[in-house]
């Protein structure tokens, strides 16, 4: 039978079901990822869908849960979309038969490979998030974070340099004059370069905001102390019952 219990803060009475049943000591498993916690996002890919915010933004059942899920889904798709659309445009530019003077072609190639380095870093971050029970916010290795952000910045800089130097490509400049005998292929490469600058800038700014969304890395000191104690007991040959043989 339910027994009345007094709330210490509000001094309001409420009922506690199943008193002294041990149910209050039951550990409820954390909901930190999709498909029974099998799939987890890195915090730099989606801060709301990272295991730290998964319950709040996705799994929590409340009045506006559907809107929350829709918002974080669009946030994730837009973030990944700008990265991969920029990659597709970079690949298109670097596969054109006429890529202009050698210096322009060189800048375009460096821009592409820098973007590939950045995306490789994102894949590594996701791999960390999928293993070892997830990745705490802020714990991405500095070199991996540098590969992502540094690669993106390098790619943006190369694209800007390409844009600045592109007027030296006479054949492309000529296409800006409307003429029935000229196509727009070379001019399109400049348009693509301008679009990739915008897309890559949006992509890296979003990633940096994701990285700072939950603040600096926080260590669970109690959990770490328990792990240190368990490791010390194991290495010293001790057990709960006393010393080992």
Q: For the residues of the chain, what is the DSSP string, one character each? A: --EEEE-TTT--EEEESSTTSSGGGPPPPP--SHHHHTB-B-TTT-TTTBTTTHIIIII--STTHHHHHHHHHHHHHHHHHHHHHHHHHHHHHHT-S---SHHHHHHHHHHHHHHHHHHHHHHHHHHHHHSTT---TT-S-HHHHHHHHHHHHHHHHHHHHHHHHGGG-HHHHHTTS--TT--SHHHHHHHHHHHHHHHHHHHHHHHHHHHHTT-S----HHHHHHHHHHHHHHHTTEETTEE--
pLDDT at residue 96 above 70?
yes
What are the structural domains, with CATH classification, of the chain?
82-212 (1.20.120)
pLDDT at residue 243 above 50?
no
- Comparing 120 with 6, which gets the higher pLDDT? 120
- Comparing 136 with 179, which gets the higher pLDDT? 136
pLDDT (mean) for 27-38:
64
Mean pLDDT of the chain: 81
pLDDT (mean) for 98-104:
88
Q: Per-residue confidence at 129, pLDDT binned at 50, 70, 90?
A: confident
86, exposed or middle or buried, with CB in 10 Å at 0-12, 13-18, 19+? buried
pLDDT (mean) for 66-85:
91
pLDDT at residue 230 above 80?
yes
């Amino acid at each position: 039978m339910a027994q009345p219990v007094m709330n210490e803060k509000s001094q309001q009475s409420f009922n506690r079901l199943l008193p002294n049943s041990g149910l209050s000591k039951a550990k409820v498993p954390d909901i930190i990822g999709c498909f029974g916690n099998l799939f987890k996002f890195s915090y730099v890919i989606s801060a709301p869908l990272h295991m730290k915010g998964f319950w709040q933004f996705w799994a929590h059942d409340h009045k506006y849960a559907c809107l929350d899920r829709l918002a974080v889904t669009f946030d994730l798709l837009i973030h990944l979309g700008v990265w991969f659309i920029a990659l597709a445009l970079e690949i298109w530019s670097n596969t054109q038969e006429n890529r202009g003077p050698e210096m322009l072609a060189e800048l375009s190639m460096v821009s592409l490979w820098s973007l590939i380095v950045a995306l490789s870093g994102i894949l590594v971050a996701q791999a960390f998030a999928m293993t070892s029970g997830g990745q705490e916010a802020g714990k991405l290795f500095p070199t991996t974070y540098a590969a992502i952000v540094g690669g993106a910045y390098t790619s943006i800089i190369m694209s800007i340099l390409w844009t600045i130097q592109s007027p030296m490509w006479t054949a492309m400049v000529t296409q800006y004059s409307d003429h029935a005998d000229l196509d727009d292929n070379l001019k399109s490469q400049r348009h693509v370069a301008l679009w990739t600058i915008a897309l890559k800038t949006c992509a890296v700014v979003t990633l940096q905001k994701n990285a700072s969304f939950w603040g600096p890395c926080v260590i669970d000191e109690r959990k770490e102390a328990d792990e240190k104690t368990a490791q010390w007991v194991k290495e010293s040959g001790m057990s709960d019952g006393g010393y080992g043989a």
